[in-house]
Amino acid sequence: MTDLLDHLRAAVGDDHVLTEAADVEAYVVDWTGTQRGRALAVVRPGSTAEVAAAVRACAATRTPLVPQGGNTGLVGGGVPDGSGSAVVLSLGRMRAVRDVDPVAATITVDAGVVLADVQTAAAAVDRLFPMSLGSEGSCTIGGNLATNAGGTAVLRYGMTRELVLGLEVVLPDGRVWDGLRGLRKDNTGYDLAQLFVGSEGTLGVITGAVLRLFPATPRHATAWVAVPSVEDAVALLALAQREAGAHLATFEIANRQALDLVLTHLPAAADPLRAPSDWYVLVELAGTASDDGLDHSLERLLDLGVDAGAVTDAAIATSRAQRSALWALREGISEVQKVEGATLKHDVTLPIAGLADWADAMGPRLQELLPGVRLVTYGHVGDGNLHYNLNAPVGGDDDLRAAAADLTTAVHDAVAAAGGSISAEHGLGRTKAAAAASYKSEVEVDLMRALKRALDPDGLMNPGVLLPAP
């Protein structure tokens, strides 16, 4: 392995090949702290050419490679296994915004650019890059692309794959595919860019991207809404789609348990409503500078919701500070769960029409498996995505860990029976690869394995992620 390390140092520089345990530590444990591995080395290239050189060196020695972005993933997809045989390829030094074209409405960036910096670069030319995640201050575009990330704007703008026009990718043999074309129309064969979106680093290393921009939306109308049930939230969504149309940008859901955690642990958080409710919706309309009727549209929507019995109370933001405070109630949920103790996270998608029935049946089933388990449910009801997370019973962290496998199987079985997906926007990583394969058809798994073999015949790219070992 000395020869490999020498080649890697020659490729990226001595300072950017990390082998000491203290230097490597941050790269081998995921954001949740539950997935920990070991690495032969961490390599930090500063350019596509350096990535290609590092990949060639690993391919020559048949050394596994684990591409890593901001390491904010929740399913272990960006950290190595425990063997210590893999090289972690961290793209955090590749942070160039290569081009911004407000007329073509595109931005071209390195894979290591932080999502918030892409948003800022778009805003500087009065454009919008709409992807928005709780981790946007640290997650990177490469990781967003590799996992086909979602977020709070999916309802209006779609998942990450809808925001991509072209990619630059280093293939497993070290060749570079330059697909950085910002064309809206290119009907000349397979859409190779989409092949790599959502592939979680198993088919190649994304090093650059051309992304779509949209008109800026400086006007917003935002409300925190109490609804009696998930069924009422879905009914309100239908009203919002009918009344607000293209202006409907966000429709998030959270249960009371999730809000209670935020109120307990997030400084300055305050309940904007007088009485508690079992469920809440954060609804936001967004428009351009000329859209001056959003407040009226939102008020009309809420009035209709009250008349239909789907809304019991609402707080409408009347200032930028109030809007930020309402958003903080939603965005703070994931972070405060870590403070509360042991957590079991599920990221599922269900047909929207079946959300209410699924949630109503799931809660009692989990209480049978672990009495006192706390359901912390939130997500993007506009696209059927629930973060169906479980906190341990008070003082029962060990009980949750002991029951984790049974609880997760119950959730996944129920999702599959309802025609849903066990991973909505976080990817499969290491933690869900085997489960996902068990719910897919044999044909679907065979097709995925055929693609993997075609592009990565030696199985060196992020082994054990997305697809389990055959």
What CATH code is carried by the domain that includes residue 324?
3.30.70.2190
Structure tokens at 458: 């030696």
Q: What is the CATH number of the domain that holds 357?
A: 3.30.70.2740
Could you say which of 161, 196, 215 is where a domain stops? Answer: 215
pLDDT score recorded for residue 106: 98
Residue 381 forms part of a structural domain: yes
Q: Is residue 400 part of a domain?
A: yes
Same domain, 257 and 310: yes
Tell me what percent of the residues of the chain surpass a pLDDT of 70.
100
Q: Is residue 438 part of a domain?
A: no
pLDDT band at 339 (very low <50, low <70, confident <90, very high): confident
Q: Where are the alpha helices (DSSP H) in 125-251?
A: 141-147, 154-157, 192-196, 230-244
> In this model, does residue 470 exceed pLDDT 80?
no
CA distance 432 to 392: 21
**Two tokens at 7?**
């080649």
What is the DSSP annotation of 89-114?
Answer: EE-TT---EEEEETTTTEEEEETTSB
Reported as a pLDDT band with limits 50, 70 and 90, residue 1 is low
Separation in Å, CA 156 to CA 124, 298, 305, 382 = 22, 16, 21, 9
Q: What is the mean pLDDT of residues 445-459?
A: 96
Domains of the chain: total: 4
What local confidence, expressed as pLDDT, does residue 222 receive? 98
Listed residues 299, 334, 369: the one ending a domain? 334
Cβ-in-10-Å burial (0-12, 13-18, 19+) of 405 comes to exposed
Q: What is the mean pLDDT of residues 226-254?
A: 96
Question: What HEC string does 3-24 produce?
Answer: HHHHHHHHHHCHHHEECCHHHH
Q: Is 275 a residue whose pLDDT tops 90?
A: yes
- pLDDT reading at 149 higher than 70: yes
Instruction: With respect to residue 379, please indicate whether it lies within any of the assigned structural domains.
Output: yes
Q: Which domain holds residue 42?
A: 2-90
Residues 16 and 45 sit within 8 Å (Cβ to Cβ): yes
- Verify that 321 and 350 share a domain, yes or no: no
Residue with tokens 């239908």: 238
Q: Which residue has the tokens 């290239």?
A: 45
The reply to whether 105 falls in a domain is: yes
Point out the least confidently predicted range of 132-136, 365-369, 417-421.
Answer: 132-136
Same domain, 290 and 373: no
- % of the chain surpassing 90 pLDDT: 89
| Residue 212, both tokens | 């779509």
Can you say whether the dihedral through the CA atoms of 48, 69, 83, 451 is positive or negative? Answer: negative
Residue 34: predicted pLDDT: 81
pLDDT for position 237: 96
Residues 300 and 402 in one domain: no
- Give the pTM: 0.93
* Pair (271, 368) in one structural domain: no
User: Is residue 141 located within the same domain as residue 107?
Assistant: yes
Task: Indicate whether 9 belongs to any domain.
Answer: yes
Number of H helices, E strands in the chain: 16, 19
User: What pLDDT is recorded for position 253?
Assistant: 97
**Are residues 247 and 167 part of one domain?**
no
79, 171: one domain: no
The CATH number of whichever domain residue 62 belongs to comes to 3.30.43.10
Instruction: Check whether residue 227 and residue 328 sit in a common domain.
Output: yes
pLDDT in tens, 319-332: 999 999 999 999 99
Looking at the fold, whether 229 and 132 belong to one and the same domain comes out as no
Q: How far apart, in whole angstroms, are the C-alpha atoms of residue 156 and residue 249?
A: 5
Distance CA 187, CA 195 (A): 15
The whole-chain average pLDDT of the chain stands at 95
Shared domain check, 357 and 320: no
- Decide if 457 is inside a domain: no
Element (H, E) at 48: helix 48-60
Give yes or no: residues 326 and 376 share one domain.
no
Give 278 or 268, the one with higher predicted confidence: 278
Using DSSP's 3-state secondary structure scheme, residue 256 falls into helix
Report the C-alpha gap between 228 and 211 in whole angstroms: 39
Tokens of 143: 């990781």
Task: Classify residue 262: in a domain, yes or no.
Answer: yes
Overall average pLDDT of the 362-384 stretch: 94
Question: Using 50, 70 and 90 to split pLDDT, how confident is the model at 134?
Answer: confident
Task: Say if residues 396 and 362 touch (Cβ distance below 8 Å).
Answer: no
- Report the alpha-carbon distance of residue 436 to residue 50 in Å, rounded: 34
pLDDT tens figures, 54-83:
999 999 999 999 999 999 998 889 999 999
